[in-house]
Amino acid sequence: MTHTKTELSALLNEHGLHPSRALGQNFVVDPNTVRRIARLAAVGPGDQVLEIGAGLGSLTLALVETGATVIALEVDRYLIPPLTSVLGATTVRVVHADALSADYTSILNDTPTVVVANLPYNVATPVVVHLLETEPLIERMLVMVQKEVGERLAAQAGDEAYGAVSLRVAYFADATVVGKVSPSVFVPKPKVDSVLVSLVRRGRVRVDPAVVTEEELFSVIRLAFGQRRKMLRRSLAGWTSEGVFERSGVAETRRPEELTLEEFASLVAAK
């Protein structure tokens, strides 16, 4: 059982609540959409799922239907009572915490985990990057985000959306846009389309830290993308030294948005 638009509106009214614009709350009210997300998450009995931004439980209920063990994380304290009441007949553990500062050691209990989340625009990228950087037990993620954000997370070299964030994600995981979501399935209805992004953590980071350290690599990436439309010989003028481009095999006339992570690593290794 998942919420319809009528049921969700009644639940909000019952508790005297309204979607918070400050928290970017847009609740999913289409049962087919939440079941589709649960299906794409590819979870079932034996899996532990952490849902970030559980809201009023629409997606949570669909995840419960898969047979997975579900933990529901919600930052809005006003939503905890109605969420708890909705999930009362289930085994879902509800946690009131901010995804950027939550104690994941106690939440995940040393168990490999899949994250499923409907993330607001203003926190989507920080949350995804934070989890990739700090929580190796999170092996996969399926996140619903604004289309622009999703395209940036999954962008490849040469794509219009490609940038430093794309490279940061690629360092830890393989990211792919796996679906689109219409504004019509949300309350309130947003003015933008959303997408579903799958992120699968790599067994090891994409660039060997013994060859090029993470700090060195991303220092150069940030410097280059600070002037993303300029050729590398200009954007990296303060960092480069004689012969770097020749040794790396990366032409100085290329622009940052054209380079793969491995090519940036070649530049750093050639310094």
pLDDT at 89: 87
pLDDT at 28: 87
pLDDT at 121: 87
Domain ranges of the chain: 5-201, 214-269
Q: Three-state DSSP class for 204?
A: coil
Q: Rounded CA gap, 123 and 186, in Å?
A: 18
Which 8-state DSSP code applies to residue 160?
T
Residue 248 has pLDDT above 60, yes or no: yes
C-alpha distances in Å from residue 138, one per residue of 31, 91, 152, 195, 271 = 26, 21, 21, 21, 34
Residue 1 has pLDDT above 60, yes or no: no
| pTM summary value | 0.93
Give 28-51 pLDDT, tens digit per residue.
889 999 999 999 999 999 999 999
Whether residue 177 contacts residue 130, with contact meaning beta carbons closer than 8 Å, is answered with no
Among 19-28, 194-203, 241-250, the minimum mean pLDDT is found in 19-28
126: confidence class by pLDDT, cuts 50, 70, 90: very high
Give 57-104 pLDDT, tens digit per residue.
999 999 999 999 999 999 999 999 999 999 988 999 999 999 999 999
Whether residue 258 contacts residue 158, with contact meaning beta carbons closer than 8 Å, is answered with yes
**Tokens describing residue 262:** 């491995």
- Chain-centroid distance of CA 159 in Å reads 19
User: In which residue are the tokens 């994941």 written?
Assistant: 104
- In the CATH scheme, what is the homologous superfamily, with its name and number, of domain 214-269? rRNA adenine dimethylase, C-terminal domain (1.10.8.100)
**b/e map 181-200, b = 16+ CB within 10 Å:** beeebbbeebeeebbbbbbe
The larger pLDDT score, comparing residue 80 to residue 8, is at 80
4: confidence class by pLDDT, cuts 50, 70, 90: confident
Mean pLDDT of 122-135: 97
Whether residue 147 contacts residue 179, with contact meaning beta carbons closer than 8 Å, is answered with no
Whether residue 69 contacts residue 113, with contact meaning beta carbons closer than 8 Å, is answered with no
Among 2-6, 175-179, 206-210, 245-249, the minimum mean pLDDT is found in 2-6
Mean pLDDT of 128-139: 98
Give 194-219 pLDDT, tens digit per residue.
999 999 999 999 999 999 999 999 99
Which 8-state DSSP code applies to residue 196?
E
Whether residue 218 contacts residue 210, with contact meaning beta carbons closer than 8 Å, is answered with no
pLDDT above 70 as % of the chain: 99
Residue 190 has pLDDT above 90, yes or no: no
The larger pLDDT score, comparing residue 25 to residue 136, is at 136
The larger pLDDT score, comparing residue 128 to residue 271, is at 128
- What CATH fold (topology level) applies to the domain 5-201? Rossmann fold (3.40.50)
Report the mean per-residue pLDDT for the chain.
Answer: 94
Residue 12 has pLDDT above 90, yes or no: no
